[in-house]
Amino acid sequence: MSSPSKVLVQTPYASYPIHIGRSLSKLLIPELVEYAADGVKLAAVTDSNVRAAQSDWFARLEGLAPIHVVPAGEQSKSLAALGKVLDFLAELRLDRGGLVLAVGGGVVGDLAGFAAASYLRGVRFIQIPTTLLAMVDSSVGGKTGINIAAGKNLVGAFHQPVAVYSDLELLKTMPPREFASGMAEIVKHGMLADRELFETLESAPVLNANDPRLERIVQWNCEIKAAVVNADEKETAASGGRALLNLGHTFGHAIENVAGYGEYLHGEAIGIGLVAAALLSQRLGHLNDTDVTRIRSVVSSHRLPTRLGVSLSADKLIAAMQLDKKVRAGTIRFVVMRSIGQAETIESADLETIREIWRACGAA
């Protein structure tokens, strides 16, 4: 095994490494054995798809950590699923020195992380992301949470892991559609913070886990996100800051809400949201037609949608945006681009302009 890459997240409240490489179980399992030898109780949370796809990986956990399996899919980011995880930890009599392993994609990471944040008012956890989306986004930065009927991620906590292990070998079992979903966040990072990254993706799309550039691409994205999180861990900056990572998400979360969670994968909704954000940036005079065309092309070349495939009501989409957790004092906050590679937050946008953008993206 070649030496993995490492990115350090350093916030005012926590400091931890993100390990990125291939076959990282050779690094992680000995560490878990050491924890267990020191009397630390371990508990793992995963979903049914990951448990089946990574059976060899889980065999290495035998005798180290009991495993709780939740149903695969967004429906497991729920109060009911959270309760079952908390019951699992209580049945194991996990104490405050215990350690939770979140082995899965964003749903498992958010759910298990929130359980770790809540149980005994906070126990340690390790993120072991098994999807590209989780490796470059949800596993980095300490956001945990669940969905409720009113919207996505409206209940949660900031709870940083003690480490992240991003094993690229685990991505080889990912369906192409899921891999593409992860690329949406990578495209987003290029659009908001790094023109060179955007141009790298523009020159040749990254389409599967065998791409030799993948380790560097994942590391690059973790560095971008870590730098933002380090400066604004809890998204409290009056402008800019961690909120910039929501580029395309105010639009994308509305699509997920109105279409019904699961109709679009998260990255697919964000792909459309990134195009919508580009159109808004154009309407505000920051981007030109060529910029929007380039963005739409990069999103599309990574096998992501650029417009709604099922017609949704523009009015319902706007109503969903108004429930978004990023709304402040009744005002929808948007992230727009000043140029490709540079973004900013704005406190409002004309709702008729937003309605026109939704219609340009295929809404009714």
19 is catalytic: no
The one catalytic residue in 41, 143, 159, 189 is: 143
230 is catalytic: no
Q: Retrieve residue 297's tokens.
A: 């092309």
Nearest CA among 306, 295, 294, 286 for reference residue 349: 286
Beta bridge partners of 127: 102, 164
The one catalytic residue in 41, 152, 153, 185 is: 185
- According to DSSP, the β-strands at 15-21 and 163-167 are parallel
The one catalytic residue in 62, 121, 210, 352 is: 121
The one catalytic residue in 188, 225, 286, 294 is: 225
- The letter for the amino acid at 101 is L
257 is catalytic: no
The one catalytic residue in 77, 266, 294, 302 is: 266
CB 159 within 8 A of CB 16: no
Q: What is the dihedral of CA 119, 123, 127, 128, to 10 degrees?
A: -80
253 is catalytic: yes
196 is catalytic: no
- According to DSSP, the β-strands at 124-129 and 67-70 are unpaired
The one catalytic residue in 178, 223, 233, 235 is: 235
The one catalytic residue in 246, 257, 286, 302 is: 246
The one catalytic residue in 159, 242, 286, 302 is: 242
242 is catalytic: yes
189 is catalytic: no
121 is catalytic: yes
68 is catalytic: no
Nearest CA among 187, 166, 190, 218 for reference residue 303: 187
The one catalytic residue in 68, 152, 249, 286 is: 249
60 is catalytic: no
Catalytic positions, please?
A: 121, 143, 185, 225, 235, 242, 246, 249, 253, 266
